[in-house]
Amino acid sequence: MWKRKQPEPVDLEDVMTETPPVWPIATRPAAPDPAPAADVPAERSSPSRASTLGATLRIKGDLVADEDLVIQGQVEGSILHTRSLTIGAQGKVRGDIRARRIVVEGSVEGNLFALENVSLRPGATVRGDIYAAAIAMEDGARLIGRIDMDNAPAVPTVKVAVPGSLETPGAELTDSQSDELLTGS
């Protein structure tokens, strides 16, 4: 009645030369958005363009990046980021965060320094101070700390060498330069 299909033979050379498929990574379930893309803020309209640190990843150490990033895992250390940084609903960060824009849906234990704005979404928990020019806090978000909108910091440009790039790589940061940027001194 039920016949088990025999697997087709696989040519190892074909498998090794094929380009692997690229699967989109969703940070939250897709929902129809009635608003046109022009009316939607950039951080909500294109989450698929952001890199994602998955929920099973745990990182100890400082993180420096220059591309949109979604953190669903755990990071223990300071983060220096020159673009949009999202701490996803499953994300947990223990350390100070410096970025252009910060969106928190998960939990952060540390101070937030944003050049443009900080957004705390429902379910977000922040234990630390927030330094930003603009702050949005939605119902259901928790802040244990203070807000300082007068002393919003400047986020420096980070030049990172890209492996395999034909362009001249930017100046890589030394450990001492990275420490200075992350501590703000």
* Tens-digit pLDDT profile for residues 119-164: 999 999 999 999 999 999 999 999 999 999 888 776 555 555 555 5
As a 3-state breakdown, the chain gives helix, strand, coil percent values, each rounded to 5, of 15, 30, 55
Task: Among 4-18, 55-69, 102-116, 164-178, name the most confident range.
Answer: 102-116
Please give the DSSP secondary-structure letter assigned to residue 157: P
Q: What is the pTM of this model?
A: 0.60
The structure tokens listed for 81 are 């980021």
- Residue 180 backbone dihedrals phi, psi, to 5 degrees: -65, -40
Cα dihedral 30, 125, 103, 131, rounded to 10, equals 170
